[in-house]
Amino acid sequence: MGGEKSGEVEQRAFGGPDSGIFRGLPLPRDFYDRDPRLVARELLGHFLVNRTDGVEQIGRIVEVEAYLGPHDKAAHSSRGLTARTRVMFGPPGYAYVFMIYGMHFCMNVVTEKEGLASAVLLRAVEPIRNISGSASGPGRLSRAMNIDMRHNGWDMTSDSFFISSDPEIRRFQVILRPRVGVDYAGHWARRLLRYYIKGNACVSVP
DNA sequence: AGGATGATATCC
DNA sequence: GATATCATCCTC
Protein backbone atom coordinates (compact mmCIF):
# COMPACT_ATOMS: atom_id res chain seq x y z
CA MET A 1 0.00 0.00 0.00
CA GLY A 2 0.93 3.62 -0.42
CA GLY A 3 3.00 3.07 -3.54
CA GLU A 4 4.76 6.20 -4.77
CA LYS A 5 3.20 6.54 -8.17
CA SER A 6 0.78 9.00 -9.70
CA GLY A 7 -2.81 8.12 -10.43
CA GLU A 8 -6.39 9.21 -10.60
CA VAL A 9 -8.54 9.88 -7.58
CA GLU A 10 -12.04 11.20 -7.05
CA GLN A 11 -12.41 14.85 -6.20
CA ARG A 12 -15.35 16.08 -4.17
CA ALA A 13 -16.29 19.60 -5.22
CA PHE A 14 -18.09 22.29 -3.28
CA GLY A 15 -21.11 24.06 -4.75
CA GLY A 16 -19.31 27.40 -4.64
CA PRO A 17 -18.78 30.40 -2.40
CA ASP A 18 -22.39 31.58 -2.73
CA SER A 19 -24.11 28.33 -1.85
CA GLY A 20 -25.10 29.35 1.67
CA ILE A 21 -23.90 27.85 4.92
CA PHE A 22 -21.44 25.03 4.44
CA ARG A 23 -23.02 21.87 5.81
CA GLY A 24 -20.12 19.50 5.39
CA LEU A 25 -19.24 17.33 8.37
CA PRO A 26 -15.78 16.65 9.81
CA LEU A 27 -13.98 13.59 8.52
CA PRO A 28 -14.08 10.92 11.26
CA ARG A 29 -11.03 10.00 13.30
CA ASP A 30 -10.77 6.68 11.45
CA PHE A 31 -9.96 8.62 8.30
CA TYR A 32 -6.71 9.83 9.89
CA ASP A 33 -5.85 6.50 11.52
CA ARG A 34 -4.11 5.21 8.41
CA ASP A 35 -0.81 5.40 6.53
CA PRO A 36 0.01 9.12 6.04
CA ARG A 37 0.62 8.55 2.32
CA LEU A 38 -2.94 7.31 1.92
CA VAL A 39 -4.33 10.13 4.04
CA ALA A 40 -2.28 12.69 2.08
CA ARG A 41 -3.55 11.50 -1.27
CA GLU A 42 -7.16 11.37 -0.09
CA LEU A 43 -7.05 14.82 1.51
CA LEU A 44 -6.61 16.37 -1.93
CA GLY A 45 -9.85 18.02 -3.05
CA HIS A 46 -11.31 18.12 0.45
CA PHE A 47 -12.15 21.27 2.37
CA LEU A 48 -10.30 22.80 5.27
CA VAL A 49 -12.85 24.72 7.36
CA ASN A 50 -11.89 27.21 10.08
CA ARG A 51 -14.66 28.78 12.17
CA THR A 52 -12.54 29.49 15.24
CA ASP A 53 -12.44 33.24 14.61
CA GLY A 54 -16.21 33.62 14.17
CA VAL A 55 -15.88 33.78 10.38
CA GLU A 56 -16.26 30.65 8.31
CA GLN A 57 -13.18 30.27 6.17
CA ILE A 58 -12.98 27.47 3.63
CA GLY A 59 -10.11 26.35 1.41
CA ARG A 60 -9.88 23.39 -0.92
CA ILE A 61 -6.76 21.33 -0.24
CA VAL A 62 -4.63 21.08 -3.39
CA GLU A 63 -1.13 20.25 -2.10
CA VAL A 64 0.12 18.16 0.85
CA GLU A 65 3.18 16.28 2.10
CA ALA A 66 3.38 13.02 4.08
CA TYR A 67 5.79 12.66 7.02
CA LEU A 68 6.06 9.00 7.83
CA GLY A 69 7.26 8.89 11.45
CA PRO A 70 10.48 8.73 13.54
CA HIS A 71 12.31 6.68 10.88
CA ASP A 72 11.66 9.49 8.34
CA LYS A 73 14.68 11.78 8.72
CA ALA A 74 12.71 14.75 7.37
CA ALA A 75 10.01 14.39 10.03
CA HIS A 76 10.19 16.36 13.28
CA SER A 77 9.37 13.13 15.11
CA SER A 78 12.76 11.71 14.02
CA ARG A 79 14.27 13.79 16.85
CA GLY A 80 12.14 11.95 19.37
CA LEU A 81 9.34 13.02 21.66
CA THR A 82 9.83 16.68 22.69
CA ALA A 83 7.59 19.50 23.86
CA ARG A 84 7.16 20.63 20.26
CA THR A 85 6.38 17.20 18.77
CA ARG A 86 4.13 16.05 21.61
CA VAL A 87 0.99 16.31 19.48
CA MET A 88 2.61 14.47 16.59
CA PHE A 89 3.23 11.49 18.88
CA GLY A 90 -0.39 11.54 20.02
CA PRO A 91 -3.55 10.02 18.51
CA PRO A 92 -4.70 10.73 14.92
CA GLY A 93 -7.02 13.52 13.85
CA TYR A 94 -5.38 16.35 15.79
CA ALA A 95 -3.69 19.45 14.38
CA TYR A 96 0.09 19.69 14.75
CA VAL A 97 1.02 23.35 14.27
CA PHE A 98 4.55 24.69 14.64
CA MET A 99 6.32 27.99 14.04
CA ILE A 100 9.04 28.13 11.41
CA TYR A 101 11.64 30.84 10.74
CA GLY A 102 10.21 32.90 13.55
CA MET A 103 7.28 34.18 11.53
CA HIS A 104 5.35 31.43 9.77
CA PHE A 105 3.12 28.62 10.95
CA CYS A 106 2.86 25.19 9.39
CA MET A 107 -0.35 23.20 9.72
CA ASN A 108 -0.35 19.40 9.86
CA VAL A 109 -2.85 16.71 10.74
CA VAL A 110 -1.62 13.78 12.83
CA THR A 111 -2.07 10.35 11.23
CA GLU A 112 -1.92 6.76 12.53
CA LYS A 113 -2.29 5.69 16.11
CA GLU A 114 -0.64 7.17 19.17
CA GLY A 115 3.13 6.70 19.27
CA LEU A 116 3.69 6.29 15.51
CA ALA A 117 4.18 10.06 15.09
CA SER A 118 3.28 10.48 11.42
CA ALA A 119 1.49 13.47 9.91
CA VAL A 120 0.40 15.23 6.74
CA LEU A 121 1.53 18.82 6.10
CA LEU A 122 -1.03 21.02 4.35
CA ARG A 123 0.94 23.04 1.78
CA ALA A 124 -1.70 24.85 -0.25
CA VAL A 125 -5.44 25.45 -0.48
CA GLU A 126 -7.56 27.02 -3.17
CA PRO A 127 -9.57 29.89 -1.62
CA ILE A 128 -13.28 29.04 -1.50
CA ARG A 129 -14.75 31.35 1.12
CA ASN A 130 -13.53 34.26 3.27
CA ILE A 131 -9.90 33.88 2.30
CA SER A 132 -7.93 36.95 1.27
CA GLY A 133 -4.53 36.74 -0.34
CA SER A 134 -2.57 33.70 -1.44
CA ALA A 135 -2.95 30.41 0.44
CA SER A 136 -0.23 28.68 -1.60
CA GLY A 137 2.66 27.47 0.55
CA PRO A 138 2.39 26.28 4.17
CA GLY A 139 3.15 29.70 5.68
CA ARG A 140 0.75 31.51 3.38
CA LEU A 141 -1.93 28.89 3.97
CA SER A 142 -1.76 29.45 7.72
CA ARG A 143 -1.70 33.23 7.36
CA ALA A 144 -4.63 33.30 4.92
CA MET A 145 -6.74 30.98 7.10
CA ASN A 146 -5.72 32.55 10.44
CA ILE A 147 -4.10 29.38 11.74
CA ASP A 148 -1.56 29.81 14.55
CA MET A 149 -0.32 28.11 17.72
CA ARG A 150 -3.79 28.26 19.26
CA HIS A 151 -4.68 25.46 16.89
CA ASN A 152 -1.86 23.16 17.95
CA GLY A 153 -3.47 20.06 19.41
CA TRP A 154 -6.91 20.98 18.06
CA ASP A 155 -9.30 18.08 17.60
CA MET A 156 -9.98 18.02 13.85
CA THR A 157 -13.17 16.04 14.39
CA SER A 158 -14.64 19.14 16.11
CA ASP A 159 -17.14 21.36 14.29
CA SER A 160 -15.03 24.53 14.56
CA PHE A 161 -11.82 23.53 12.79
CA PHE A 162 -11.93 20.45 10.57
CA ILE A 163 -11.60 18.89 7.14
CA SER A 164 -14.71 17.87 5.24
CA SER A 165 -15.74 16.21 2.01
CA ASP A 166 -18.65 17.35 -0.19
CA PRO A 167 -21.30 15.49 -2.25
CA GLU A 168 -20.31 16.87 -5.64
CA ILE A 169 -17.64 14.97 -7.49
CA ARG A 170 -15.08 15.83 -10.14
CA ARG A 171 -11.96 14.02 -11.25
CA PHE A 172 -8.35 15.09 -11.17
CA GLN A 173 -4.90 13.59 -11.45
CA VAL A 174 -2.46 13.38 -8.54
CA ILE A 175 1.19 14.31 -9.09
CA LEU A 176 3.91 12.96 -6.76
CA ARG A 177 7.12 14.93 -6.21
CA PRO A 178 9.90 15.20 -3.59
CA ARG A 179 9.06 17.25 -0.52
CA VAL A 180 10.08 20.91 -0.33
CA GLY A 181 12.72 22.30 2.04
CA VAL A 182 14.05 19.04 3.46
CA ASP A 183 17.36 18.71 1.56
CA TYR A 184 19.16 18.01 4.84
CA ALA A 185 17.37 14.64 5.12
CA GLY A 186 19.59 12.63 2.73
CA HIS A 187 17.73 10.05 0.67
CA TRP A 188 14.51 10.91 2.49
CA ALA A 189 14.57 14.25 0.67
CA ARG A 190 14.16 12.44 -2.64
CA ARG A 191 11.20 10.28 -1.66
CA LEU A 192 8.02 11.10 -3.58
CA LEU A 193 5.94 12.19 -0.59
CA ARG A 194 4.51 15.47 -1.87
CA TYR A 195 1.10 15.17 -3.50
CA TYR A 196 -0.72 17.80 -5.50
CA ILE A 197 -3.60 18.21 -7.93
CA LYS A 198 -2.28 18.24 -11.48
CA GLY A 199 -2.72 21.59 -13.22
CA ASN A 200 -4.17 23.38 -10.19
CA ALA A 201 -3.16 27.06 -10.19
CA CYS A 202 -2.90 27.21 -6.37
CA VAL A 203 -0.14 24.61 -6.02
CA SER A 204 2.89 26.34 -4.46
CA VAL A 205 5.66 24.56 -6.40
CA PRO A 206 4.22 22.91 -9.53
C1' DA B 1 21.21 35.69 -3.30
C1' DG B 2 20.18 37.26 1.17
C1' DG B 3 17.46 38.90 5.22
C1' DA B 4 13.65 38.60 8.55
C1' DT B 5 12.83 36.70 13.15
C1' DG B 6 12.17 33.45 17.17
C1' DA B 7 11.63 28.70 18.72
C1' DT B 8 14.16 24.48 18.97
C1' DA B 9 17.73 21.04 19.14
C1' DT B 10 22.22 20.27 20.28
C1' DC B 11 26.24 21.31 21.77
C1' DC B 12 29.23 22.98 25.53
C1' DG C 1 23.99 29.39 28.39
C1' DA C 2 25.62 29.72 23.34
C1' DT C 3 24.84 28.72 18.65
C1' DA C 4 23.43 26.63 14.36
C1' DT C 5 19.40 25.40 12.12
C1' DC C 6 14.92 25.68 10.40
C1' DA C 7 8.62 21.15 6.70
C1' DT C 8 9.24 29.81 4.65
C1' DC C 9 8.40 34.06 2.44
C1' DC C 10 9.71 38.47 0.61
C1' DT C 11 12.80 41.65 -1.59
C1' DC C 12 16.61 42.62 -4.01
A27-82 pLDDT, tens digit each: 999 999 999 999 999 999 999 999 999 999 999 999 999 999 999 999 999 999 99
- What's the pLDDT score for residue A7? 55
- What's the pLDDT score for residue A186? 94
H/E run at residue A31: helix A29-32
Q: How far is CA A111 from CA A119, A178, A182, in A?
A: 5, 20, 20
Query: Residue A124 CA to nucleotide C6 C1', Å?
Result: 20
Give the pLDDT band (50/70/90) at residue A20.
confident
Query: What is the nearest nucleotide to A106, using C1' and CA?
Result: C7
Options 1.10.357.10, 3.40.640.10, 3.10.300.10, 3.40.50.150; CATH of A9-13+24-197: 3.10.300.10
Query: Residue A126 CA to nucleotide B7 C1', Å?
Result: 29
Strand intervals (E) in chain A: 7-13, 47-50, 57-67, 95-100, 104-111, 118-129, 161-164, 168-177, 194-197
Write b or e for each residue in A165-186: b if 16 or more Cβ atoms lie within 10 A of its Cβ, otherwise e: bbeeeeebebbbbbbbebeebe
Q: How far is CA A85 from CA A9, A75, A196, in A?
A: 31, 10, 25
- What's the pLDDT score for residue A154? 98
Nearest to A37 by CA among A81, A7, A57, A13: A7
Question: Where are chain A's structural domains?
Answer: 9-13+24-197
pLDDT mean over A140-164: 98
- pLDDT of A17 > 60? The answer is no
Query: Residue A204 CA to nucleotide C9 C1', Å?
Result: 12
Distance CA A122, CA A120 (A): 6
Query: What is the nearest nucleotide to A88, using C1' and CA?
Result: C7
- What's the pLDDT score for residue A9? 45
CA geometry: angle A43, A37, A10, nearest 5 deg: 40
Q: Which of the nucleotides in strand B have any atom less than 7 Å away from a protein CB atom?
A: 4-10
- What's the pLDDT score for residue A12? 41
Instruction: Spell out residues with C-beta < 7 A from strand B.
Output: A 76, 79-80, 82-85, 98-103
Query: Residue A103 CA to nucleotide B4 C1', Å?
Result: 8
Q: Which of the nucleotides in strand C have any atom less than 7 Å away from a protein CB atom?
A: 5-10
Mean pLDDT of chain A: 92
Query: Residue A73 CA to nucleotide C3 C1', Å?
Result: 22
Distance CA A112, CA A118 (A): 6
At A115-129, the pLDDT tens digits run 999 999 999 999 999
- What's the pLDDT score for residue A22? 87
